Chains A and B, each alone.
Chain A
């Protein structure tokens, strides 16, 4: 298989425009003859479904939640970047492109990132026209804030709930099309397989989560907008239902999985409080603007803290280690996410962590409160402090917050070309589910931008080209491939339902999460990864022998739903480990302990690893085949990131 990213020729700034002109168009009268399937209704899915329906295609949209509005895009807090340069502070499309490429540690495609930056400005216009209530200034115009990894103020926001407001905007556009009858919406429906006919994706198989009915749906193209796979770690900031099944099933039908080991670990999350923990809660990284991160300088003091013999404020200034300020005097507490996270892990591994579990560091606002006064601090961070005290029952105005890194976003995903098409013709992948724009590390406020860019402004052009080429002849839903795929899905369900062992699916999920976090989390090394691979293989065998799946397939069955998702996570976990093992370098969110600078920073190997690792499924228990898409950098110079 030869990977062709189909990146258009020509100068960077003209690639997208030229490409748009070269794409084939579908005659307006013919558009209604095409059916397009959209799986997932987050920012990417809802915006794609609405935009394609507006063009005239028949759209069928699917989500596993009870309403398209619940997709996890809704939980994004901070904001969305756009190169509007409304601040007159030197922003431009090129600067946004440059910051994103650099932030991704030079592991993303130049052409994709440039296009992302280019359409970012249209996104803001679109959302405002829909009635999205962005923050405004007294003059009535839009406000901006600054975000990590950039020296300009280009982040548009809607209080601490930008994701919700943007998603509700896309949801409203989707609703309009549902009302017009151009989108047929299927809620509480989970996609369980892709139907591939003669090498082309022509449908999907779904399970109705209420009635258990397995159905197949035919379409000329299938768009997967199904989000990231952070829940492979069990504990993450993702929603409980977020899963990899759609993408993983597609992978098993021939779509390559790219860079699965690139995981973003967010430094400012509320630490785990016990074994019951079901998910982690993120707090905006803006807290690091005024909070100082520290742990006790000695293990003995930390031990006393953990036992509750002393309190944080009993520890004298000289006995504290403000480790980020010490190691990175120029960036201090504002180093990028990956650096902050790794250092927190390091001090905890060193036995200096705080809190009952020892897996937390302090984020202390005492100095800011002294300097600015409590009201000023409350005005800036009041809602975050409230959320923190709600969850932990501690008052962050009086004692320092405890924070610990948590899995937040996955940069890896299904491999797609410049048109967002996977290696299976007719099968597209948008948003976090694909691998395309963030390289090895995503900058803050860029996820919302990518989801909406893909859905509103990229896919409506690129999918038309494919559809025009295949022609509007109806898809035969009675083709044997449909019957066969559906039968396979039903058989798999029956296999799950026959599992009556002694260990719950949640227990397997927790075990998987522990393996992944321990060996494929913030810091990885070859020995640990090899060990983890074995552990996962054992876990997989055990799962298929000893898992408990209750009930039957004719009703709401959460045990069955979870079993399917966890089984796929286990397989994905193994591939992530293979990918992490293969990548003998450190870059962005992927930190291999063997590859670091003398100061302990990530050490890239551009000569050998400036490529996208795209993995091909070759069958049950057969190693996946690696395909390399070389990354060509014509416009930016690859440099070592330094935050000293």
Chain B
């Protein structure tokens, strides 16, 4: 749990940094380039499969442990003990389920659509002398594969337009709502999960504990969820 969890945490940083390209006002050029890179660079592909399996292992292991832990108290308390622990530490399963549902929706929205679904296509023409870029939607007939070449001082890039798909999705309030809810869940999941991983690994030293708690709370439970939540909200109110 701790190892997959921490691996997934590290992914969040990369994912968030990459997704900041969404905020660029360039009709999605940088974001689409980034999306292409992430899906076609072999080492990254390897890592991404590692990531998918981590999600599965993390989930399955969580279910197994929960089942086992439930068995260790066959007769439940009439009055549940709750004093002394934070809410999220006792409800990682609920939070994790929300996150899992979210990941499924999220991946079918974008990852699946990008690979095999109906993502629109776009062509960018950048005048290398003036640096101005114009873009236009192209039809599937005009698109064979991702290309990037220079022709007569103009850089031409033809790409799948994931940016547009994102912008479209995030104009629907219920998708935005789901994303924001999921990010709240992520925040609660990580406020416990991040430091918990260190505790399980035995990396709980009185000297470093405050640092771990600081990173866990401010980076993983505040900055990262807010950063992610800002994206759907940005497109909704754009």
Task: State yes or no: do A and B touch (Cβ within 8 Å).
Answer: no
Q: Write the residues of chain A forming the contact surface with B, with a CB cutoff of 8 angstroms.
A: none
